[in-house]
Amino acid sequence: MDNLALETENLCSDIHFRLGLKESSKKNPESPQVLSLLASHLERSVLKNDKLLETAQLKDTVTIFHGTRAPSLGIQQYIDRIFKYSCCSPSCFVVAHIYVDKFTQRNNVLLTSLSVHRLFITGVMVAAKFIDDAFFNNAYYAKVGGISTVELNRLEMKFLFGLDFRLQVSIQTFDKYCSQLEKEASSGIPIERPIRACGIKESWSNNEESNCAAIAR
């Protein structure tokens, strides 16, 4: 039994290293593997749900996380931007993924091109506050995510109530989601087209409501 536990621990440690979640992976901090795997997973989920909605096989619950149209920056670029400017640990993105997954399940909400961006930036912010030693205020995350501070405040409260404020993630759950991301990537499931997300520019203006902070309404 002890040998089995040790083997499992080593396996999880290897996965963490490959995904860029170990401290030693900070030698290449701009591109932890988990970001691309997570982006691919979100793109597949959104594509699947959008198609089901288009063919009326599913009906979505409209929430404050939904925009009226899909924005214009790819999900991969959006996640890269959040990582670049938020200074969150790579583990935050896995925890945010877990939060978003639980939120959609608990509240009967689909992850679609209209909701994925607001859900994810909210999830990352909540995860950073819960697991990282240092984090920014809501105004900063709002600018990173391309929405107003007032809106992000509302999204955060809706998100927390939707999770029933249950933010603790067990090691077993964390490792399970890491393994699923890696397994999905190794299966080689193709992505048919890029998902277009919010049109945020690399340079910011001091005006919070400027063009660089406009997720499609």
Report the mean per-residue pLDDT for the chain: 79
- What secondary structure, in 3-state letters, does the chain show? CHHHHHHHHHHHHHHHHHHCCCHHHHHCCCCCHHHHHHHHHHHHHHHHHHHHHHCCCCCCCCCCCCCCCCCCEEHHHHHHHHHHHHCCCHHHHHHHHHHHHHHHHHCCCCCCCCCHHHHHHHHHHHHHHHHCCCCCCHHHHHHHHCCCHHHHHHHHHHHHHHCCCCCCCCHHHHHHHHHHHHHHHHCCCCCCCCCEECCCCCCCCCCCCCHHHCCCC
pLDDT band at 48 (very low <50, low <70, confident <90, very high): very high
**pLDDT tens-digit map of 98-139:** 999 999 999 989 999 999 999 999 999 999 999 999 899 999
